[in-house]
Chain A
Amino acid sequence: MENQNDSIAHAPLPTAKTLRFRKNLLIQVWRFVAINIKMLNMIRKGHHQK
């Protein structure tokens, strides 16, 4: 298991723009709504099994 941290060292590093995106209030309010809808859809599927 020698190369486990090599793999991390070569993983995609988020750019400054991506990091700003992750903290931008307007974008994040939109993502909050979008993720909640995704989660609700998934919950609905799980609750309605035959």
Chain B
Amino acid sequence: MARVLILGAGIAGHTAALHAKRLLGRNNEIIVVSPNSNYNWIPSNIWVGVGKMQKQQVIFPIAPVYKRKGIEFHQALAKSIYPEGDSQIANAYVEVSYTDPGRLNQVGKIEYDFLINATGPKLNFAATEGLGPDGHTVSVCTAGHAVDAAEALKSSIEKMKAGNKQCIAIGVGHGTCTCEGAAFEYTFNVDHELRMAGVRDMADLVYITNEYELGDFGVGGMVFTQRGFQTTSKLWTESLFRERGVRAILGAHVEKVEAGKVYYEQVDGTKDVLAFDFAMLLPPFRGVDLQAFNKAGDDISSEIFAPSGFMKVDADYSGKPYEEWKASDWPSTYRNPSYPNIFAVGIAFAPPHQISKPRKSPNGTLIAPAPPRTGMPSGIMGKLAILTIKELLNKGPQAEAHSASMAKMGAACVASSGSGLTQGSAAAMTMFPIVPDYEAYPNTGRSLKDTYGEIGLSGHWIKLLLHYMFIYKAKGRPGWQFIPE
């Protein structure tokens, strides 16, 4: 009997846990460690952040699901990995600190045969002075943050109704952020709310981003075919900004935030200040605070983790110049090179390089959107780790690992731009592959057939369908396994 330990119960970890029980469960032990008692369907936080959904609609308690499935759940924070055990414990184990109110701050040691690190990102608000809920801006990264964002937005709308103009700043709070798609989506949901409240003319809506061009989304933009022409996501996105009257500040690194003021520098070196009344700025991500030690107790964190704090996997981390990177440098099995029984999936794995071209301002400030690792690839990686473990258990250590490279996988992004069954709208985009492969697709790096964008009410229905479908799946209801990741 083998023990599979999964750290994190987000999209990647929870998908892994459900598949693990289904595919390995009878004879093997599945354990999940995660600090929160609730599962959060993060993409719908956008709707909580504009007051269109309640927090309870995007979260649910996770322990009952695990109990029903026969998965052991520890509400705890993983602190340190001992992949070789230590002087007292012969097996590999993870040290955890309980967040469960019944065992608060107690320390536990959980042994494993296979470890899946699916701890997602640390929301690194501290990288920018004054950024985030403890500073002067709101966020929609957690359901709780989104509730506060909705409150702040409501108060701004009240002020507009009372005749006071407001500057609404939405975007990313550092030059190295990712998740621009979420900031874009929130911008257009806010635009929609302002129109519904009849105060759109009272708001200066500004999108502030590290993207060099609109439509970059951290993936270097896309080329679509539309009505017999090739067009770009840049033109397509600019068209939406024009239609909705949204201003943009591009190629920006936010240096600091003070009450009502965002200080930023742009790629050309110019520095400026944006005065705001409401600001939702996403934080940059880094790996969570996990350490690793060898049997002798020496700190081996720098061997296991990249400087960004994300875990190293089977990618090429040699640090070649951006122009020399290839699709094949991206990982496909997500196994740690030093300890192949450790996997890192979802946001937790260290990407080898940016997809979007990194730039530096004349002052040396790095302005480089980090590659997005969205829901679908995260789920696919979670399942892949379990399929590989199944092979290893059946065929032994030489068994071939399953592979799922982001350079061979597509992504669907549905960015809603207003809600309502007849009034809603969304920009639905698909791209294939996520990481451009100029050897397979010489002209644009991606398949023109599978890279596509469209704006309309149907996109909103798709987003709503995804919300209900993925919450159903995460609850492990009958037939959940037939819903693709």
Residues in A lying within 8 Å of B, measured CB to CB: 1, 4-5, 7-9, 11-14, 21-23, 25, 27-29, 31-32, 35-36, 38-43, 45-47, 49-50
Contacts and interface: CB of A to CB of B under 8 A. Distances in A.
A47 B402 CA distance: 11
Interface string B289-332: 00000000000000000000000000000000000000000001
Interface of B: 214, 235, 238-239, 241-243, 247-251, 266-268, 270, 332, 376-377, 380, 402-405, 408-410, 412, 422-423, 425, 428, 430, 432-433, 450, 452, 454-459, 461-462, 484-485
Contact of A4 (B248, B377, B403, B430): B248
B410 A42 contact: yes
Contacts of A50: 403
B243 A46 contact: no
What are the 4 tightest A-B residue pairs by CB atom distance, in nearest-first order?
A11-B238, A46-B409, A32-B458, A42-B410
B243 A1 contact: no
A49 B457 contact: no
Given A42-B410, A46-B432, 10 more contacts: A1-B268, A8-B238, A8-B247, A11-B242, A13-B242, A14-B243, A29-B458, A42-B430, A43-B410, A49-B409
B457 A22 contact: yes
Nearest to B272: A1
B452 to A, nearest CB: 6
Contact of A47 (B251, B268, B380): B380
Nearest to A24: B457
A46 B250 contact: no
Given A8-B241, A38-B452, A32 B267 contact: no
B239 A14 contact: yes
A25 B422 contact: yes
A40 B403 CA distance: 20
Given A42-B432, A46-B410, A47-B484, A23 B404 contact: no
Given A1-B267, A23-B422, A11 B239 contact: yes
A49 B402 CA distance: 8
A41 B405 contact: no
Contacts, number: 107
A39 B458 CA distance: 13
A41 to B, nearest CB: 7
A23 B457 contact: yes
Point out which of A22, A42, A46, A47 has the most chain B C-beta atoms below 10 A from its C-beta. A46
B249 A4 contact: yes
B461 A32 contact: yes
Contact of B412 (A7, A11, A32, A43): A43
Contact of A38 (B214, B235, B430): B430
B430 A46 contact: no
A4 B402 CA distance: 44
A37 to B, nearest CB: 11
A5 B450 CA distance: 30
A33 to B, nearest CB: 8
A46 B462 CA distance: 20
A43 B461 CA distance: 19
B404 A46 contact: yes
Contacts of B214: 7-8
Nearest to B269: A1
B422 A1 contact: no
Contact of B462 (A1, A22, A35): A35
A38 B266 CA distance: 37
A34 to B, nearest CB: 8
A49 B250 contact: no
A29 B249 CA distance: 36
Contacts of A8: 214, 238, 241-242, 247-248
B452 A43 contact: no
Contact of A28 (B332, B377, B433, B458): B458
A25 B421 CA distance: 10
30 contacts: A5-B248, A8-B238, A12-B239, A12-B242, A13-B239, A13-B242, A14-B243, A22-B457, A23-B422, A23-B457, A25-B422, A25-B457, A29-B458, A31-B456, A31-B458, A32-B462, A35-B428, A38-B452, A39-B412, A39-B430, A41-B450, A42-B412, A45-B410, A45-B450, A46-B409, A47-B485, A49-B332, A49-B404, A49-B408, A50-B403
Given A8-B238, A13-B242, A39-B430, A22 B455 contact: yes
B233 to A, nearest CB: 12
Contacts of B485: 43, 47
Contacts of A9: 242
B380 A46 contact: yes
